Chains A and B, each alone.
Chain A
């Protein structure tokens, strides 16, 4: 049984259809990367898994259980947590309080505030600082730490490299194996293909609301990916 199965999901923003009959299977232990240009539907897909959007047709199964009509907080309880696009840390809360909010549902697991500070040592001296004073890289580390505090089985990461310096991006991707070791499957959405393909076990390329190409990065040529990315 797959950890996450999306079956024939179609998602709309009012009259505009953003996703057309998407099918995805993610196994436990995968690093599943969704790539594609701006507006291809990658973030829409993540929001549908998180529960912010509801598919008009099709189903979403988590660990075999249909979840498509559950509110987001119930999905967090089951073990799906999010690193939203644009980080979305709580600006008036301190770093430490942001982490505590991440653990709001009290799911048991390996992640605690201490282990997050161990994973991202840069956060430790900032723990009493308000999150709005943090740099982009610090905020991204905090957003990931906050999502881990839910002790997720599946973590959804939306554009984690956007607007960050290459050295910071590298450090964030270096944390991925540690996440896997702790039983956390990763679904990551990226526009920046280069970095994510070095770590991903699976890749799906979105084009205009459909999946144009899917497979293991090692089995795909860069020509295939370019063609699927730009639709040429």
Chain B
């Protein structure tokens, strides 16, 4: 029963990792930018929610999510147009250096403003409610809601990418940037919208994580690695693959913790990632097309 419990909790945790990872994958897909600040950008929304909740009397952080999403979209758009557009297309190194710097700025900015102490978002009773399956097995409502949100977000993203004019432009720019410009696409605008959408998605994961556990400004690096691992295990260019990658990572971590003890949780995830990278470097559901 412990096993089954670890697997179920791992799957649900994977939904959270997927919520962090799809934004990373979207940004890399549309502009070939390896965004090292992505982890810190998943921490930022929890602090924005904290400000919103703190400034209003007893406001449930769940309701702050739409507001945080809008703020993060605008922030992402401006960040791209004001800074990151200048390094897209100028080689891998420039993007890595700028986003690494951005990561440090965000992390230290949050420490300066909110201290390094752990904070939490209190969503009330829902945090402790669960569905009891047997006397040894229960599923928490909160992890279940997070997982469902991940599925809904990924399905919505697929509809957006497949059926809207902007989604089509994302894919065209991803295929061939110069040809896309020649067809009348303003790539600077498209990249900025892509970054905005990525941060909008990240907001959901960031706030939900803030409700589920405590958070502090230093968590970005770990989340960046989990997001990378989920994307690579799942395969580039496939958002359902990213969900699968997140689930594999989550299950590996919790089974590792069960078998070898809690200290091994993170390492077990990394080991499984390395094994998959060695055996199937293209990931499970890669959809990348080469000309």
Contacts and interface: CB of A to CB of B under 8 A. Distances in A.
B289 A100 contact: no
Contacts of B165: 100, 104
A43 interface: no
Contact of A84 (B168, B171, B172, B179): B179
B171 A90 contact: yes
Nearest to B189: A73
A4 interface: no
B291 interface: yes
B134 interface: no
Contacts of A146: 183
Nearest to A89: B179
Interface in B165-182: 165, 168-169, 171-172, 174-176, 178-182
Contacts of A93: 168, 171-172, 175
A150 B291 CA distance: 23
B172 A91 contact: no
B118 interface: no
A130 B171 CA distance: 12
A33 to B, nearest CB: 20
A73 B168 contact: no
A50 B179 CA distance: 11
Contact of A102 (B175, B183, B289): B183
B185 A104 contact: yes
Contacts of B180: 90, 101
A92 B181 CA distance: 17
B117 interface: no
Nearest to B174: A92
B130 interface: no
A19 B176 CA distance: 26
Categorize the interface residue count of chain A: 20 to 34
A91 B289 CA distance: 7
B198 to A, nearest CB: 19
A147 B182 CA distance: 9
Contacts of B168: 93, 97, 100-101
Given A81-B184, A104-B169, A132-B291, A90 B178 contact: no
Max chain A CB contacts within 10 Å: which of B176, B184, B290? B184
B186 A71 contact: yes
A175 interface: no
Interface in B277-291: 289-291
Nearest to B288: A92
B290 A73 contact: no
Contacts of B175: 90-93
Contacts of B169: 101, 104
A73 B185 contact: yes
Contact of A132 (B171, B174, B185, B289): B289
B252 to A, nearest CB: 31
A82 B182 contact: yes
B181 A90 contact: no
Given A101-B169, A150-B183, 16 more contacts: A73-B185, A76-B182, A76-B184, A84-B178, A84-B179, A88-B179, A89-B179, A90-B171, A90-B175, A91-B175, A93-B168, A97-B171, A101-B172, A104-B165, A147-B183, A150-B184
Interface of A: 50-52, 71-73, 76-77, 81-82, 84, 88-93, 97, 100-102, 104-105, 130, 132, 146-147, 150
- Give 6 closest A-B pairs by Cβ, nearest first: A76-B184, A92-B289, A88-B179, A105-B184, A90-B175, A82-B182
